[in-house]
Structure 1
Amino acid sequence: MKSISYVILLALILSSCAIVRQGEVGVKRKMGKLKEEALSPGPVVYNPLITRIIKVPTRTVNVEINSNLPSKEGLNVGSVISILYKIDPSYAPSVVENIGMNYEDVLITSVFRSAAADVCSRFFAKDMHTAQRAVIEQEISNQMRGILKNRGFEIEAVLLKTIQLPAGLARAVEEKLEAEQDAQRMEFLLQREKLEAQRKLVEAQGIRDAQKVITEGLNDQILKWQSIKAFKELSKSPNTKIIMTNGSTPFLIEPNK
């Protein structure tokens, strides 16, 4: 009998103890009434006959939603959106009491669909596929925060993961992007040719100026000096040679006038 009593006692002890893990808080409901303070992670002792411990996750949750977003021109744009949110631990009892544990369906997705429809209807469909995408995400996040912050929910980010434009519009966007890339490529080529032309012009001007300086610097005295240097270099050569000269230069013979 003692062993049976010990087993029953152990079962009662185990059933009257709950563990609140990291990333969640506990909400104690005693005889149908919720305690106002959330229970921190750790062991919690309670009377299982009249009390229940409700565990509320407070870590970041990622919920994906498939939705057709309306655009400014009246098109429906298929999309897959991720909403990153978490619950403020101090609001956990209020969430359980006023919304319930199915708060994701009751509140989060409903607020998102309303905010997304309102924001996206102010943008063209192509904007969801370009740099305006980040602006749309930020505006949806801000609108959701304004509604959900006082309800205990923190919206960390709204991410437009996949955007499916209508076939005709998608092709038009691609053609526009290709045209812009071609224009940028042509601009680059024109700029490169312009720079090359400028380089050649500077090079030609440099050669012209150098030749002008050399021409202006030549006179009879310099020519004689260069001729003497040439004779001197020729005299050092061991090879047999015949030098035709008029006495002034070994290479240039001035014809009789």
Structure 2
Amino acid sequence: MENKRTIIFAIIGVVGLFILIGLSSSIFYTIQAGEKGIIFKKFGGGLDKENVISQGFNFKAPWNTLFVYDVRENSIEESMDVLDKNGLSINVDVTLRFHPIYSRVGFLHENFGIGYVSNLVIPEVRSSVRQVMGRFTAEEIYSTKRAEVEGAIKEETAVSLGANNIEMKTLLIRSINLPEQIKLAIENKLTQEQEALAYQFRLEKEKSEAERKRIAAEGEAAANNIVNSSLTNQLLRMRGIEATLDLSKSPNTKVIIIGSGDDGLPIILGNN
């Protein structure tokens, strides 16, 4: 009787082992590095959004469903045709780098599912680019306000994705392409504006130089007036006498003074 009971337990154990092995893939699982997992509990309240499973070995009830998300930084490249403020078609190439917000993977799955990139990220990027560029003209986008356009696209994309549990790392606008004739027209206009600015600069420089010369001339004239008003015959005669005396002291000069000149100054003879 004991042997029979032992055999029955052994059979049950073997059967249980085979069942466990068969269900092992439904019970045991491993979350790899760069992944997050969430569980859908069929008999326990549905999707468990709050408990995000990190990397490592785990187990679950075989009737529950595991969803694994790659949360490493991802990137997409998009080329799209958009309309400017005046309805002109513009081609834009953008690159977006992003990843799911780790603690919100459950909410992301509930709203958009595994295909969130095509269901959420790409449409939001396209929408932001179209909305922003629709507020500017082609000329502004291509030249004068390009930095402002790029900044607005980045800001609005980050806000819209963040509201849907995606963190945007960066958005790069690789190129903005206009129809060739429009591009040439804008470049010609910019060239003419630069030439006009250069011409205006030259005019202003010439005006400044003319003003400088006028002020210098007025100063020189005022100085001459002051000097002329201070010169008298007595002062000139005194300065002449002083200069004559200094010259007479030169060792290379023989001084002979005979009378005086018409201007009242001594006459010096015998210079070597």
Q: Which TM-score band (shorter chain)?
A: 0.7 to 0.9
1:39 matched to 2:52: yes
> Hey, what does 1:196 align to over in structure 2?
209
* Aligned residue identity for 1:248: G
* Aligned residue identity for 2:221: R
Distance (whole Å) between structure 2 residues aligned to residue 250 and residue 38 of structure 1: 119
Distance (whole Å) between structure 1 residues aligned to residue 265 and residue 79 of structure 2: 95
Relative to 1, partners in 2 of residues 1:20 and 1:221: Cα closer, same or farther, differing over 3 Å?
A: farther
| Structure 1 residue 63 displacement after superposition | 2.5
1:76-107 alpha-carbon deviations (Å, 9 max, x no partner): 21111133444222320122233122211111
Name which of 137, 161, 173 aligns with 2:150.
137
1:26 matched to 2:26: no
> Hey, what does 1:78 align to over in structure 2?
91
Name which of 26, 50, 55 aligns with 2:69.
55
1:186 matched to 2:199: yes
Distance (whole Å) between structure 2 residues aligned to residue 86 and residue 19 of structure 1: 17
Distance (whole Å) between structure 1 residues aligned to residue 226 and residue 144 of structure 2: 58
| Structure 1 residue 73 displacement after superposition | 2.9
Relative to 1, partners in 2 of residues 1:214 and 1:147: Cα closer, same or farther, differing over 3 Å?
A: closer
Distance (whole Å) between structure 1 residues aligned to residue 54 and residue 198 of structure 2: 60
| Structure 1 residue 146 displacement after superposition | 5.8
Relative to 1, partners in 2 of residues 1:241 and 1:163: Cα closer, same or farther, differing over 3 Å?
A: farther
Distance (whole Å) between structure 1 residues aligned to residue 28 and residue 74 of structure 2: 29
1:248 matched to 2:261: no
More displaced 10-residue stretch of structure 1: 27-36 or 126-135? 27-36
> Hey, what does 1:102 align to over in structure 2?
115
Relative to 1, partners in 2 of residues 1:106 and 1:198: Cα closer, same or farther, differing over 3 Å?
A: same
> Hey, what does 1:4 align to over in structure 2?
none
Distance (whole Å) between structure 1 residues aligned to residue 245 and residue 140 of structure 2: 81
Helix, strand or coil at the partner of 1:130: helix
Helix, strand or coil at the partner of 2:56: strand
| Structure 1 residue 138 displacement after superposition | 4.4
Relative to 1, partners in 2 of residues 1:158 and 1:232: Cα closer, same or farther, differing over 3 Å?
A: same
Name which of 213, 218, 236 aligns with 1:223.
236
Distance (whole Å) between structure 1 residues aligned to residue 219 and residue 84 of structure 2: 61
Distance (whole Å) between structure 1 residues aligned to residue 171 and residue 113 of structure 2: 23
Count how many residue pairs are aligned between Structure 1 and Structure 2: 240
| Structure 1 residue 68 displacement after superposition | 1.1
Larger of the two Rg values belongs to structure: 2
* Aligned residue identity for 1:75: L
Relative to 1, partners in 2 of residues 1:135 and 1:227: Cα closer, same or farther, differing over 3 Å?
A: closer
Distance (whole Å) between structure 2 residues aligned to residue 160 and residue 38 of structure 1: 37
> Contact 2:248 / 2:255 at 8 angstroms: preserved in 1?
no
Distance (whole Å) between structure 2 residues aligned to residue 148 and residue 230 of structure 1: 93
> Hey, what does 2:3 align to over in structure 1?
none
Could you tell me the percent identity over the aligned residues? 28
Distance (whole Å) between structure 1 residues aligned to residue 203 and residue 51 of structure 2: 68
> Contact 1:28 / 1:52 at 8 angstroms: preserved in 2?
yes
> Hey, what does 1:112 align to over in structure 2?
125
> Contact 1:18 / 1:45 at 8 angstroms: preserved in 2?
yes
Taking structure 2 as the reference length, the TM-score comes to 0.72
Distance (whole Å) between structure 2 residues aligned to residue 62 and residue 18 of structure 1: 25
> Contact 1:29 / 1:54 at 8 angstroms: preserved in 2?
no
* Aligned residue identity for 1:87: P
* Aligned residue identity for 2:33: R
Taking structure 1 as the reference length, the TM-score comes to 0.76
> Hey, what does 2:183 align to over in structure 1?
170
> Hey, what does 1:6 align to over in structure 2?
none
> Hey, what does 1:67 align to over in structure 2?
80
Structure 2 residues without counterparts, runs of 5 or longer? 1-20, 268-272
